[in-house]
Structure 1
Amino acid sequence: MPHANPSPDDGALLPLDAVREKPAPGGRAPAAKGVPEAAAALPVARVVVDTPLPHLDRLFDYLVPAPMDADAVPGCRVRVRFAGKLVDGFLLERAESSEHEGRLTRLERVVSPEPVLAPEIARLARAVADRYAGTMADVLRLAVPPRHARVEAEERGTAGAGPRTGEDAGTGPEEGPGPWAAYRDGESFLSALARGRSPRAVWTALPGSGEDGPEWAGAVAVAVRETLRGGRGALVVVPDGKDVVLADAALSAVLGPGRHVSLTADLGPAERYRRWLKVSRGEVRVAVGTRAAAFAPVRDLGLAVVWDDGDDLHAERLAPYPHAREVLALRAHQGRTGLLVGGYARTAEATRLVATGWAGPIAATRQTVRDRAPKVRPAGDDAELAKDQAARAARLPSLAWRTLRTGLESGPVLVQVPRRGYLPALACQGCRAPARCGHCRGPLALRSGHAMPYCRWCGRIAGEWRCPACGAARMRARVVGARRTAEELGRAFPSVPVKTSGRDGVLATVGPGRALVVATPGAEPVAEGGYAAAVLLDGWALLGRPDLRVAEEALRRWMNAAALLRSGSELVVLADSSLLPVQALLRWDPVTHAERELADRTELGFPPAVRMATLTGSPAAVREMLGEAELPSGAQVLGPVPVEPSRGDQVRERAMVRVPWGAGPALAASLKGAAGVRSARKADEVVKVCIDPLDAI
């Protein structure tokens, strides 16, 4: 871990008389009158200070007073004087001496002797900051939850209760490979974990849902059990709280009660910190949670699992915007840790891990896939269009109605809608131009069938709207939302209960009885015993977005919904059967689709074949940043180009920098250096730097 001595240039950490006075031999300065003596052993504390300024992203040396000697342990929280202010920090290590020639400033206070920052997490935070051109302090805010003194003071549990070996490693009814028996190399993967090895694999999960929920959760629990049997801990990262519930139930069934903890934001700060401390103290050796759990300090981590890595919820919204898959890959690379990247579909990034040999594939045979996959039928194929001439224009063609009616005879039916709400977007009836607010230019929408159009940005009612392009006064729906779809289906099937699941309220499960379940992508509840049928609406809305990942994302959303069906059940997708994602869904072959995606992006120079960074800010700030950056050889700068401003924002621009994959570390270092130069100059405007963003194109 690199470190630096504080200097007057770094915010006047030292008084001038202290700088002039030479230290005693060994790096310790004589104590001033009335000041406590320094600690007798290892008197120098190396601290990472909580400051977002890039040019101060390094360790600073402080002196440990003798009264704080016992509490100032590596990993504890401290308060230090920095730039004339008291700020928080983490003590990373103790040293015998400092290279600084002046008197060191003393620690102000040890906030808590609890070692909350483990050495491996500190190394990981440093690696994540370097990969994403961020600061270690920003990463530590994501990695270590805020302190709760009352929780720390509570009586501890039994430390070291986690690892068991032999027959005591699990309490579930099955002690064999369980779901992994259906996969090539599945049992060998489990065997490697049980022997304490560190296999790395990309897992293409089979579809299917039983009485206990989706099979993937049980398979992950079995892999965790074998990791514990090998004497090491495990970590599972999933996209959202619904998946945490599924994984939590599966782990409890396989491992028994009290063997793991779940970490989610909705627990509340105190309870989440309580569970996080159990992991940090070694009281449990298994943790499951959302993206922040990728930094959970699991003792002797043997397996890290990331499920559905293509979900954008795995990408952090706060600087430096790391992705959970990349965090866990760095963690696996740094330590002796196995990695499992799983999902029904497969991302181009995961495919690249296999293509480079860094990870191996785990998949079932084609015959097993055929036996387990649903029967997929596109509503836009030629045979169906010949039977139903209106199918091309209808939102719910006759094939979809027949599928819904037949499925309802034997259980619940799923209807996936790409958008939430009622009419999330409106357009001009005449020229199809987007309908926007005359006051703030925000998009207009409808809340219900009897409501007036309103602006989704400023909330104003647009009762007298006219199209500025053609003058028409009527609007049409660009996309129909989940609530409007549920309303229409309720009228069509009056005797069937209709349930909705989306941002306004996500259902975790539904019963086995007859029901129409209308859900947005990612919010599909698990049906007991699986759905009898499903209809995937508005495929054009998913495939028509101007996004690099549009085909990959559409296939992922479709397969996640289709995997909740019973084996052999019928699924209708409203999309053209000639499109590649639809063909991949028909064959249930996400691997070939991902390999083709990766080949196309390699040929065109798109991520993940290359490394890319975006710089977003005011035009002057972006250009200044590009001028300061010493970009690596072969870097290609695209732009800057204007970015559509959010409500109330000033004019912004975005530049993109593209480099070969191997030059990624140099690109991150150059952008961080440029940000440090601007920070040292106290530039007024901050440029947002994002490495490998999901929405680059």
Structure 2
Amino acid sequence: MSSTGENGAAEPEQLAFIRETVKRAKPRTWKGAKRAEHLPVARVVVDKGVLTIDKFFDYEVPAAMAEEARPGARVRVRFGARVVKGQREGGELHDGFIVARLEKSDFAGPLAPLAQVLSPEPVLSPELLRLCRTVADRYAGTLADVLQLAVPPRHAKAEAEPSPPPLPRPQPPAAGGWQRYPAGPDFLAALAGGGSPRAVWAALPGPGWPYEIARAVAATLAGGRGALVVLPDRRSVARVDQALTELLGPGLHVALEAELGPRERYRRWLAVSRGSVHAAIGTRATMFAPVCDLGLVVVWSDGDGSHSDPRAPHPHVREVALLRAADEGAAVLLGGHAVTVEGAQLVSTGWARPLVADRETVRQVAPRVRTVTDQDQHRDAAAQAARLPSVAWEAARESLAAGHPVLIQVPRRGYVPRLACGRCRTPARCRRCEGPLEAPSADAPLRCGWCGEAENDWHCPECGSFRLRAQVVGARRTAEELGKAFPRIPVRTSGRDAVLDTVPDEPSLVISTPGAEPVVEGGGGYGAVLLLDGWALLSRPDLRAGEEALRLWLAAAALARPSGEGGTVVVVAEPSARPVQALVRWDPLGHAGLERDERAQLHFPPVSRMASVSGSPAAVADLLNLIRLPEGADVLGPVPVPALRGEEQERALLRVAPGQGAALAAALKAAQIARIALRTAEAVRVRVDPTDIG
């Protein structure tokens, strides 16, 4: 076994002393099976995500494995073994992938043989390896960690099944819903002609967006290339899957979903890898699907938090899409009802073109949006009775009378998730861990939202009062109140515990948390959409609070009927707030542009590049002392951050100018390696391009 650099060259500064020892010593070989005659060296990436060994290692290929040990195959190797008198001693078995077969190694010493070829299937293509290496470098992570995200676990039975032969390519589709966008037909024509257009798409409200994505995929397939679509959740995947099946028929695409089970999902993944299918759709992990001759990457709702992977090194789907498109020369379509600040940045730099409808078309298909302030709601008798101000009450009643359902979006789940003292308004907190107290139901005792401890004898530590008031009312409490206000009208709830996919087009009240809104069957839409407690979204202490609020509001409002069919949206929030004004005008790209300009003045992402470092105060200080930041970098903090179980935590933000992101990631990685070498015990969480910057 020997180590080499990422480009295959040995690293003399780390291995010079080994080379000198080998030169003076008598050459030795591993005792055992005969080695392969042709390309007897396998270069392997070991599935061991440690920063200090983020490199390739050379192994000898036994003659018995010469045919199966091909580049891209899964293997098992001994890692950490030593040579004592020509014999291999110690070393643990680890999985890995062969990245190349070589005639000889750069390492002059003896090579350990491959222990086993787990599968000859070439699951790690050169394109996928290159992408994973780029992602690891961008996010200061290891190649092994990214490979765990990119390559699914092996399923032997699925691997033994032959993949079906590829079906004939479809004909270029008609423009369909893309005709509503001035640049839409030209975008489709460029895809069908083999071009690589890049667009930021502000999708119109209504049920048409899955079919527009399907037409973009069909045009790409007609042009002789492959397509990839990444969506935020299972319900969105199901809608695009249905649209593709209706447009193309079965067999021309696959949906990669975790709900399929490991065997079926791996079978579909292999169909893509083997070139039997040229289009794949799915959630976050699908971004790495090995589509052959990739021509189009679509990311829907790139501002959704589910696109950011919680596992190290925390890559974001949008950024991986841009890296992959640049490497493989593919077209890019970043779409959604809202536009992210990152999308506005791509438009402002000219990297992508805006794909938007004209104002007349927007007015025709968008619902009417009305605003109500929080003060108006508190003064309104109807709002006191059922949490609905008179404007919202009338909109709901008209929708129900017309035979259509009403959607009520509530920012919080649960019954009463936030409580405060009824006299002095001090937040009610757990005496054990200082977590927020919540009321699970009308007759259940209070409990802590962090540790779950019950609280049967709460009193305010500031004024001694035993009275409580609700700071935030949850979806279940709202459903209970509206059920009383609208008797004989069915009340349905959709949230984390039970998410509804669809609701019938009949009078009903649908109470949903953000992101869980069901679609009306038949594509008719809701007669009214009521967006309650807008302050709860706008007042979050986060740089993206306004952007996220608008995204959630637009996603819900897009399910309403057009204004010409009586569709109405009522938002309870301060009308002068920028996101509220953008919702009234239905102008997501304009809002994103203003946010981008404001962040440019403050030197915040995406105009700059940033990373967060969090952990105990001592650990954060230790890393900041070791890191060698690029010239001109800023260190913001460290500052205390909330932590569970009472552990003291701090976070520092590191900011660099555009073009220095790679240097920042390299500096973070080097500092982490230095801490490992110094055997520093306390871990530090490093996140490049964090999605939440409070």
TM-score, normalised on structure 2? 0.93
Counterpart for residue 415 of structure 2: 422
Counterpart for residue 134 of structure 1: 141
Partner deviation per Cα, 1:285-339 (whole Å, 9 max, x = no partner): 1111111110011111110100001111110001111100001010001111111
Partner deviation per Cα, 1:154-201 (whole Å, 9 max, x = no partner): x2122433x615x3x6xxxxx410110110211111011101111111
Say whether the 8 Å CA contact 2:377–2:389 is kept in structure 1: no
Partner secondary structure for residue 44 of structure 2:
strand
Distance 1:479 1:13, change over 3 A: farther
| Residue type of the alignment partner of 1:373 | A
State percent identity of aligned pairs. 56
Query: Any gaps of 5 or more consecutive residues in structure 2?
Result: 1-5, 81-90
Whether 1:405 and 2:402 are equivalent positions in the alignment is no
Post-superposition offset of 1:218: 0.4
Say whether the 8 Å CA contact 1:379–1:391 is kept in structure 2: no
Partner deviation per Cα, 1:323-362 (whole Å, 9 max, x = no partner): 0000101000111111100011111001101111111111
| Residue type of the alignment partner of 1:406 | E
Counterpart for residue 27 of structure 1: none
Post-superposition offset of 1:459: 2.3
Structure 1 residues 621-636: aligned runs within 5 Å? 621-636=619-634
Whether 1:48 and 2:55 are equivalent positions in the alignment is no
Counterpart for residue 3 of structure 2: none
Once residues 609 and 379 of structure 2 are traced to their aligned partners in structure 1, the CA distance between those partners, rounded to angstroms, is 49
Query: Any gaps of 5 or more consecutive residues in structure 1?
Result: 23-29, 170-174, 209-213
Counterpart for residue 162 of structure 2: 156
Counterpart for residue 662 of structure 1: 659
Distance 1:425 1:549, change over 3 A: same
| Residue type of the alignment partner of 1:552 | E
Once residues 575 and 385 of structure 2 are traced to their aligned partners in structure 1, the CA distance between those partners, rounded to angstroms, is 15
Which residue, out of 433, 436, 439, partners 2:432?
A: 439
Distance 1:284 1:463, change over 3 A: same
Once residues 392 and 598 of structure 1 are traced to their aligned partners in structure 2, the CA distance between those partners, rounded to angstroms, is 39
Whether 1:555 and 2:550 are equivalent positions in the alignment is yes
Corresponding residue pairs, total: 671
Partner secondary structure for residue 80 of structure 1:
strand
| Residue type of the alignment partner of 1:164 | R
Say whether the 8 Å CA contact 1:53–1:679 is kept in structure 2: no
Post-superposition offset of 1:475: 1.3
Whether 1:107 and 2:125 are equivalent positions in the alignment is no
Post-superposition offset of 1:116: 1.0
Which residue, out of 17, 20, 28, partners 2:25?
A: 20
Whether 1:194 and 2:192 are equivalent positions in the alignment is yes
Counterpart for residue 653 of structure 1: 650
Once residues 466 and 455 of structure 1 are traced to their aligned partners in structure 2, the CA distance between those partners, rounded to angstroms, is 14
| Residue type of the alignment partner of 2:164 | T
Once residues 559 and 540 of structure 2 are traced to their aligned partners in structure 1, the CA distance between those partners, rounded to angstroms, is 25
Partner secondary structure for residue 488 of structure 2:
coil
Which residue, out of 106, 115, 123, partners 1:116?
A: 123
Distance 1:19 1:651, change over 3 A: farther
Whether 1:688 and 2:685 are equivalent positions in the alignment is yes
Say whether the 8 Å CA contact 2:377–2:388 is kept in structure 1: no
Counterpart for residue 376 of structure 1: 369
Say whether the 8 Å CA contact 2:382–2:388 is kept in structure 1: no
Distance 1:221 1:450, change over 3 A: same
The range that moved more, 475-484 or 618-627, is: 618-627
Counterpart for residue 58 of structure 1: 55
Partner secondary structure for residue 321 of structure 2:
helix
Distance 1:191 1:19, change over 3 A: farther
Counterpart for residue 546 of structure 1: 541
Post-superposition offset of 1:19: 9.4
Once residues 344 and 50 of structure 2 are traced to their aligned partners in structure 1, the CA distance between those partners, rounded to angstroms, is 36
TM-score, normalised on structure 1? 0.93
| Residue type of the alignment partner of 2:673 | G
Partner secondary structure for residue 662 of structure 1:
coil
Counterpart for residue 153 of structure 2: 146
Distance 1:260 1:189, change over 3 A: same
| Residue type of the alignment partner of 1:303 | L
Once residues 228 and 378 of structure 2 are traced to their aligned partners in structure 1, the CA distance between those partners, rounded to angstroms, is 52
Distance 1:41 1:592, change over 3 A: same
Post-superposition offset of 1:393: 11
| Residue type of the alignment partner of 1:344 | H
Once residues 603 and 423 of structure 2 are traced to their aligned partners in structure 1, the CA distance between those partners, rounded to angstroms, is 40
Partner secondary structure for residue 249 of structure 1:
helix
Partner deviation per Cα, 1:257-286 (whole Å, 9 max, x = no partner): 122111122222222212211111112111
Once residues 556 and 151 of structure 1 are traced to their aligned partners in structure 2, the CA distance between those partners, rounded to angstroms, is 40
Distance 1:381 1:222, change over 3 A: same
Partner deviation per Cα, 1:619-676 (whole Å, 9 max, x = no partner): 22211211221100010111112221113x6322211111112111100011011111
Over the aligned positions, Cα root-mean-square deviation in angstroms equals: 2.3
Partner secondary structure for residue 640 of structure 1:
strand
Once residues 211 and 652 of structure 2 are traced to their aligned partners in structure 1, the CA distance between those partners, rounded to angstroms, is 44
Runs of 4+ aligned residues of structure 1 deviating over 4 Å after TM superposition are: 4-10, 16-19, 30-33, 384-394
Counterpart for residue 211 of structure 1: none
Post-superposition offset of 1:396: 1.5
Whether 1:570 and 2:597 are equivalent positions in the alignment is no
Post-superposition offset of 1:395: 3.5
Post-superposition offset of 1:598: 0.2
Partner deviation per Cα, 1:519-566 (whole Å, 9 max, x = no partner): 111100000211111111101111111110011111111100010111
Once residues 589 and 445 of structure 1 are traced to their aligned partners in structure 2, the CA distance between those partners, rounded to angstroms, is 37
Once residues 675 and 507 of structure 2 are traced to their aligned partners in structure 1, the CA distance between those partners, rounded to angstroms, is 62
Say whether the 8 Å CA contact 1:395–1:538 is kept in structure 2: no
Counterpart for residue 333 of structure 2: 340
Distance 1:492 1:600, change over 3 A: same
Counterpart for residue 88 of structure 2: none
